[in-house]
């Protein structure tokens, strides 16, 4: 008798891609640019979003969906910087967000009043890398405290990103981190990556970051 193997993961991923396509369609119809921020824990992406909301919130209508394994601490932090709803998705142990969760989060948002959506994914460079959330583009964030070989250790996250933020550059005088080597390693796995060098703590590089976001809202570049 023949044996038929059902690949559960493939089926789940296929369903996720269907939902991601629906997310992408809704966002495009509303003229919303969406960025999926992926990083390892401690890269500073929540502080980067805090600073972004503080600097651009009055100018660009933004919304945020955050993913955390157990708490909504990041969402609480971000909510202090905006009058708009910050959607907290507590995964209960799952190491990434999926398109179903993002689609559910959109139900609570009035997309007609939003131009820019950030999805702050769970802190993890492995699981989130392979899941399409319907975003315009992925942005991978890593910091100067993590080592220049991060792109080589976690290539999928960098391969599927369109942009990379090297954060915590204010710490460079105290570290052996080689920015040029880090960028070369990242370009080894994705030659098309565009980079931002930032310090969410001191504000270095945030003007360029905000100018980029303004341009993307004016005319987003699809990943």
Each residue of 100-116: pLDDT tens digit?
A: 999 999 988 899 999 99
165-194 mean pLDDT: 98
d(CA 87, CA 65): 5
Domain ranges of the chain: 8-218
The model's pTM is 0.86
Asked if pLDDT for residue 9 goes beyond 50, the answer is yes
- When the pLDDT of each residue in the chain is averaged and rounded to a whole number, the result is 86
pLDDT value at residue 74: 60
HEC sequence for 136-203: CEEEEEEECCCCCCHHHHCHHHHHCCCEEEEECHHHHHHCCCCHHHHHHHHHHHCCCCEEEECCCCCC
Q: What angle do CA 222, 137, 168 make, to 5 degrees?
A: 135
d(CA 26, CA 166): 31
pLDDT value at residue 96: 80
Asked if pLDDT for residue 153 goes beyond 60, the answer is yes
Each residue of 21-73: pLDDT tens digit?
A: 999 999 999 999 999 999 999 899 999 999 999 999 889 999 998 876 445 55
The CATH architecture of the domain made up of 8-218 is 3-Layer(aba) Sandwich (3.40)
């Amino acid at each position: 008798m023949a044996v038929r193997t059902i690949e559960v993961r493939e089926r789940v991923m296929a369903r996720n891609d269907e939902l991601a396509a629906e997310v992408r369609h809704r966002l495009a119809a509303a003229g919303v640019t969406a960025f999926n921020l992926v990083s390892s824990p401690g890269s500073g992406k929540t502080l980067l979003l805090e600073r972004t909301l503080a600097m651009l919130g009055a100018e660009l209508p933004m919304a945020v969906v955050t993913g955390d394994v157990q708490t909504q601490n990041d969402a609480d932090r971000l909510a202090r910087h905006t009058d708009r709803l910050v959607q907290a998705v507590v995964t209960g142990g799952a190491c990434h967000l999926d398109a179903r969760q993002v689609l559910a989060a959109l139900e609570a948002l009035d997309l007609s009043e939003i131009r820019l959506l950030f999805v702050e994914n769970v802190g993890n460079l492995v699981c989130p890398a392979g899941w399409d959330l319907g975003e315009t583009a992925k942005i991978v964030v890593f910091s100067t405290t993590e080592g220049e070989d991060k792109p080589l250790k976690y290539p999928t996250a960098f391969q599927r990103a369109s942009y990379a933020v090297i954060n915590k550059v204010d710490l460079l005088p105290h570290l052996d981190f080689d920015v040029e080597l880090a960028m070369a390693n990242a370009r080894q796995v994705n030659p098309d990556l565009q980079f931002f060098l930032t310090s969410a703590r001191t504000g270095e590089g945030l003007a360029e970051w905000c100018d980029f976001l303004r341009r993307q809202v004016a005319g987003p570049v699809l990943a």
